[in-house]
Amino acid sequence: MAISASIQALIAGETVAGSRISNRLLTELIQEGLLQIIIHGSRKSYRANNIEALKRFLIDKDENYRILDIDNFDSRSSMASETGNSKLVTVRSCPGFPVNTYEPIECRLNEEPFIINPQEGCFLFVSDWRTFTIPEDVTIIGIENMENFRKVRQQRLFFDEYLHKHSLSQKVLFVSRYPQSTDLREWLASIPNLYIHFGDFDLAGIHIFLSEFQKHLGIGRTSLLIPEDISSRLSYGSARRYNEQYARYKDIKSDRIEIQQLIDLIHHERKGYDQEGYISQ
């Protein structure tokens, strides 16, 4: 699939006239809060609010958009040297996913011992993920937003209390879906560890968990992290977020009681709450 010039321009941070984007896609991007509207008299143009979030949405929508994750310099230059055409890129240059932790975890990579213990202010990226293994007593927490993923130490008390309350291992490996691909999900499917998903508390966030993780890993291996105080936090959450997502996700449902209760609460409050609110300042 060829990526349209308008999408490429948005990913490059440029402003794009509304007439250059298909009406259906434009409506979806606006509903998701991914575009900033710029008015010039009677005309409207658009710019991406968050380029990484836009890429994530497009790739979730259609795997063919995965080409957006390609490292342009390395992949295109190597392709050009072989074929004379840098536009024939069909491979990803950066497979894998980021990992983080606040306590050392002894793992294995390529059948060799590998200790994950990033210094505060950085995290690691596992590219050879098919040879990456972790102890079975490690709890995996997937974090949807990168600010939360980068600042796990500022959320340690929050995570420790949650794990203790649910009698789960305090040995935690944090993972992220960036860059967007199925690598993380495939790796999770290959190991027995429990996966807990921590995302935004809105309809779109629940949809990501249900469609990207629970659907493929099963109910027995997955859990959605729902904080005890989410009811009070939703009361002062974002009504705009709820309204933007309502048309697309209004019919979302779950057979799991605790998740359906969260869905009902979101509809009752008519608001959403960003997970970044759990980062201690």
- Alpha-carbon dihedral 58, 59, 65, 66, rounded to 10 degrees: 150
pLDDT of residue 77: 52
CB-CB contact of 241 with 271 (8 Å): yes
C-alpha 115: how far from chain center: 25
Radius of gyration of the chain (CA): 20
> Which tokens belong to 121?
């202010």
pLDDT number for residue 88: 41
Which residues, other chains included, contact 19 with Cβ-Cβ below 8 Å and sequence gap of 6+?
Answer: none
**CA atoms of 164 and 171, how far apart (whole Å):** 11
Question: 225 near 197, Cβ under 8 Å?
Answer: yes
Query: Which pair of tokens denotes residue 43?
Result: 């005309």
Q: What is residue 63's predicted lDDT score, i.e. its pLDDT?
A: 66
Q: Cα–Cα–Cα angle for 48, 143, 9, nearest 5°?
A: 15
Is the Cα torsion angle 127, 133, 138, 142 positive or negative in sign? positive
Q: Which pLDDT value is given to residue 67?
A: 64
Q: Same topology for domains 5-88 and 97-278, yes or no?
A: no
How many other C-beta atoms are found inside a 10 Å radius of the C-beta of residue 61? 12
Q: How far apart are the first and last CA of the chain?
A: 44
Of the candidates 243, 233, 211, the one whose C-alpha atom is nearest the C-alpha of residue 279 is 233
Report, as ranges of residue numbers, the positions in the chain whose pLDDT lies below 50: 71-75, 78-91
Q: Which CATH architecture has domain 97-278?
A: 3-Layer(aba) Sandwich (3.40)
pLDDT at 223: 97
Among 2.40.50, 1.10.150, 1.20.120, 1.10.10, name the CATH number for the domain at 5-88.
Answer: 1.10.10
Tally of residues, the chain: 281
Domain segments of the chain as ranges: 5-88, 97-278
**Distance, CA of 103 to CA of 227 (rounded, Å):** 22
Pairing status of strand 43-48 against strand 35-40: antiparallel
pTM, two decimals, is: 0.70
